[in-house]
Chain A
Amino acid sequence: DTGVSQDPRHKITKRGQNVTFRCDPISEHNRLYWYRQTLGQGPEFLTYFQNEAQLEKSRLLSDRFSAERPKGSFSTLEIQRTEQGDSAMYLCASSALQEAPNSPLHFGNGTRLTVT
């Protein structure tokens, strides 16, 4: 079990640039989630996939954010025209559908985004 891996660990970008993050879930997990965490706050739900289908998007997710999971395995989260308010830790998690909603989420170590 290699766990959930996220890449990159850190990203520094200038305001207005686009960034893309990648998440590789635990291989047998059907569900994949994206969260955002800012300092002193709990993780905030952004979106989740069941296999390749995006089932829910939070109202927090503006039009500048898009997530994909094209083959039901890894996922990407893209932020276009980044703003300073996008600076946060972006967390990916996965879980097994068969145990939902009781299955715990397994989290990656996150991608820390800093927009200057």
Chain B
Amino acid sequence: GNSVTQMEGPVTLSEEAFLTINCTYTATGYPSLFWYVQYPGEGLQLLLKATKADDKGSNKGFEATYRKETTSFHLEKGSVQVSDSAVYFCARNTDKLIFGTGTRLQVFP
């Protein structure tokens, strides 16, 4: 089937630590891949996207590379900040957007 699997949270890090949130997908064809972020009390916002294999999406210091061979789109950031604390959703799109269950990130000073 078509689905998105994310690592379970919460992920708890100290400020300036390295972040990885794993995401894998299954889909027929070649979906576009997205990371969305939901800050406390706010709506879903697009963080970054990649539309074809080997594309790298990046925004606000976050990066993710579309890996067709491993069907993955892992989110990384070299140095997290307290303000990055939020829930992160991986998603894939062919005709509609299908989301993973979300990973909560908590960053402490």
A21 at the interface (CB under 8 A from B): no
Number of A-B residue pairs at CB separation under 8 A = 51
Contact of A101 among B44, B94, B99, B101 (CB under 8 A): B94
A102 at the interface (CB under 8 A from B): yes
A74 at the interface (CB under 8 A from B): no
Q: Are A42 and B102 in contact (CB under 8 A)?
A: yes
Distance of A22 Cα from B42 Cα, bound (Å): 18
B89 at the interface (CB under 8 A from A): yes
Q: Are B102 and A41 in contact (CB under 8 A)?
A: yes
B93 at the interface (CB under 8 A from A): yes
Grouping DSSP codes into helix (H, G, I), strand (E, B) and loop, the B interface class, with mixed when no group exceeds half, is: strand
Q: Scoring A residues 19 to 50 as 1 if CB is less than 8 Å from chain B, else 0, what string do you get?
A: 00000000000000100000011111100100
Instruction: Kindly state the interface size class of chain B when it binds its partner.
Output: 20 to 34
Residues of B within 8 A of A42 (CB): 4, 89, 91, 99-102
With A40-B101, A43-B99, A45-B97 in contact, do A104 and B34 touch (Cβ < 8 Å)?
A: yes
Closest chain-A Cβ to B91's Cβ sits at a distance in Å of 8
Residue contacts A-B, CB under 8 angstroms, 27 given: A33-B97, A40-B101, A40-B102, A41-B101, A41-B102, A42-B89, A42-B91, A42-B99, A42-B100, A42-B101, A42-B102, A43-B44, A44-B99, A93-B44, A100-B95, A101-B94, A101-B95, A102-B32, A102-B49, A102-B93, A104-B34, A104-B46, A105-B46, A107-B36, A107-B44, A107-B45, A108-B43
Interface residues of chain A, those whose CB is within 8 Å of chain B, are: 33, 40-45, 48, 56, 91, 93, 100-102, 104-110
